Structure 1
Amino acid sequence: MTLQDSHISLAHGNGGRFMRELIDEVFARHLASDTLDTTADAVRLSLPGEEIRFTTDGFTVQPLEFPGGSIGSLAVHGTTNDLAVAGADPLYLSLNAFIEEGFDVAQLERIVADLGRAASEIGVSVAAGDTKVLPRGQGGGIYLATTGIGVLRHPTPLGMKQIRDGDAILVSGPLGDHGISVMLAREQFGLRGDIISDASSVLGITCAMREVPGIRFMRDPTRGGLVSVAHEIARATGLTVALDEPAIPVRPAVRTVCDMLGYDPYYLACEGRVVAVVDPGSAQDALSAMRRQSGGELAEVIGCVRQQSGEACVSLKTEVGGLRFLQELEDDPLPRIC
């Protein structure tokens, strides 16, 4: 790397030499593609297939680097996972980086390198991008915004409109790992731990689910966690989402931290999990398909959707056999975790 400055200045966003050097020596060095002309104002893309999926997202996590990932890898996984659970193979990303004046260039390079590795591992190209430098004090170090394009590959329609009374609900792994990992990395409570974020690609899991008949719906439970996905289902279908607490996977260390600090793991963001709704006759096939994939080894069937009298809700059968109603999230329990 030949970029002389060790920290970002406003000159790195002025369109001149410093900006060109920043793009060439940090972003292009880690993200350039051999098959795409990313020097053009608008890149030419090849999109095989008849139908695409298109999504966009923004990332403001603090701290910017945490056990298991960084804002760079999180941006790739967060965007491509949205495509994957919609039944698409991710192909291309755009990247906008909003960098605060004074930001450390060495940390910037680690983040961009992490982003490049994550994209390469799942075969995604960063096809376009832009950088902006914000005056000191007007940003959190760096914010990232991404847009993703993928080609639809799932053989049957997916969506909440497909969900039926009696369908089973699955989750591909333990809840709360990302939220608690980020919180511990902040060291705000004098706690330390070895909990690693689940931030990762779910493409292997969603591809495996294409072979399962009766798959209705998939979603990655990011902000608001499992409960927010459950409330979306209840609102869209008019069906009650009935969850079984003993079946929901939560790591003991995550549950311990939640109990100590008053967090509920069912509301915490995950960045490498899939919540799926399937025909009850396909539940065991879907569970087996998840468990055969990396990241899905601890998948479980955690409940069902069912028609009940009264207003649709989200209920939780507790460890001791009681019934708890999970309200929709209002306050932000852990700000800036994705």
Structure 2
Amino acid sequence: MENNQQNMTGSWQLNCPIEIPAETDCVTLAHGEGGRLSRKLIQERIASVLKNEFLETSDDAARLPRVDGPLAFTTDSFVVSPLFFPGGDIGSLAIYGTVNDLAVSGAHPLWLTLSLILEEGFPLMLLDRVLQSLAEAASSTAVKIVAGDTKVVPRGAVDGLFINTAGVGKLTEPVPPGPAFLREGDELVVSGPIGQHGIAVLAAREQLQLDPLPHSDCGSLLTAVEQLREALGDRICCLRDATRGGVAAVLQEWAGSSGLTLSIDERCVPVTPGVKGMSELLGLDPLHIANEGTMLIAVRQGAGQEAVSVLQSLSKTADARLIGSVKGRGVAAVTVKRTLGLEQPLHDPLGSPLPRIC
């Protein structure tokens, strides 16, 4: 009996159930198991690119300095397909999307967290491209990535790479009061051409051979928001980046919060020829198509043209336009005067014409 136990003990060895290759050009499950490959991935590929004083400690939580005054906090997830599209990629999209959410909420972005959910087999070369894009976008907005997490899931569990972020920013006065405080006569401004992101992602996803190729408006709205707030102060009622659901979704939300009717003129809404042509071909309404660097702004009566002038002085928002106004609640919550002059209700899209766009 004793000899049998010794034989059994001698033949049994501790082995990792996941094979750890010496060198690999793709993400493996071992990269997510907390061992040598996990440390190598985080230290050599992630932290080295996103490096700052908060990440150097490698603690479980970032130790942040004291901030006087109230904070804004947001979170977002990014599952865009494809990961790379004309005008951007999932990396820049994650940074700009989170920064924009803070900016239009009346906050100056300070810190972000970054969580990566990687699919087994994802090429490390593509991960490097995404990380470099993340770093460049963070640098351009002066926001620091202070904490994060990395998980690896089996093949087929995700589509290559998903990203989750959280962002913290300092609220600066005067904070726009929000759509519940809209009044009759307030004016509506859009910061630039609409629908570019959704059409760019669609063209890349379906490999449409278009000339010129549509480009996403993916970018930071931080400078535009800060310039606008400095010039107009408390005459700004609310701001919102028009992402999923496009301008129509923002208008519906604002109408619901205010109990008023928001009315726009389609002839005043900037749309590029490429987006207009693709929308007509596919039977889509540009007002329903997602943006990632375009916002809707509501200002007090008489301040619309000044807001447009401020925005047009910046390259990112040079095509800003005054597109409508706020009215007493009528039959419809949102109305649009179409090209031929007929005013009609503008509803939310019934389905999702362009899924996986952010």
TM-score (norm 2): 0.90
The answer to whether the 8 A contact 1:38-1:128 is kept is: no
Aligned residues: 335
* Cα deviation 1:143-193 (Å, max 9, x = unaligned): 000000001124244311221111000000000110001111113556564
| 1:328 and 2:348 correspond | yes
Alpha-carbon offset, residue 10 of structure 1: 0.4
Give runs of ≥4 in structure 1 deviating > 3 Å. Answer: 34-38, 188-193
Q: Which residue of 1 aligns with 2:225?
A: 206
Amino acid paired to 1:72: G
**Which residue of 307, 310, 319 corresponds with 2:328?**
307
1:38 and 1:91 map into 2 onto residues whose CA distance is 19
1:78 and 1:302 map into 2 onto residues whose CA distance is 24
* Cα deviation 1:291-334 (Å, max 9, x = unaligned): 12231100000001110344x41111011111221112231111
Q: Which residue of 1 aligns with 2:41?
A: 22
The answer to whether the 8 A contact 1:8-1:104 is kept is: yes
- 1:167 to 1:38, Cα distance in 2 relative to 1, 3 A: farther
Amino acid paired to 1:307: G
1:148 and 1:42 map into 2 onto residues whose CA distance is 14
Residue pairs, 1:80-229, within 5 angstroms: 80-187=99-206, 191=210, 193-211=212-230, 212-213=232-233, 214-229=235-250
| 1:238 and 2:266 correspond | no
**1:113 match: secondary structure:** helix
Alpha-carbon offset, residue 220 of structure 1: 0.2
Residue pairs, 1:265-284, within 5 angstroms: 265-284=286-305
1:309 and 1:95 map into 2 onto residues whose CA distance is 44
| 1:43 and 2:56 correspond | no
Q: Which residue of 2 aligns with 1:34?
A: 53
**Which residue of 281, 289, 294 corresponds with 2:310?**
289
Alpha-carbon offset, residue 28 of structure 1: 0.6
Alpha-carbon offset, residue 121 of structure 1: 0.6
Q: Which residue of 1 aligns with 2:92?
A: 73
1:47 and 1:90 map into 2 onto residues whose CA distance is 15
2:201 and 2:240 map into 1 onto residues whose CA distance is 22
Q: Which residue of 1 aligns with 2:285?
A: 264
The answer to whether the 8 A contact 2:54-2:63 is kept is: no
* Cα deviation 1:190-221 (Å, max 9, x = unaligned): 65642111000000111011120411000000
The answer to whether the 8 A contact 1:184-1:193 is kept is: no
Runs (5+) with no aligned partner, structure 1: none
Amino acid paired to 2:297: A
2:175 and 2:128 map into 1 onto residues whose CA distance is 41
1:109 and 1:131 map into 2 onto residues whose CA distance is 14
Amino acid paired to 1:198: D
**1:20 match: secondary structure:** helix
The answer to whether the 8 A contact 1:47-1:151 is kept is: no
| 1:13 and 2:32 correspond | yes
Residue pairs, 1:51-70, within 5 angstroms: 51-70=70-89
2:25 and 2:55 map into 1 onto residues whose CA distance is 30
TM-score (norm 1): 0.96
**2:315 match: secondary structure:** coil
2:132 and 2:220 map into 1 onto residues whose CA distance is 17
**2:48 match: secondary structure:** helix
The structure whose Rg is larger is 2
Runs (5+) with no aligned partner, structure 2: 1-21
- 1:35 to 1:17, Cα distance in 2 relative to 1, 3 A: closer
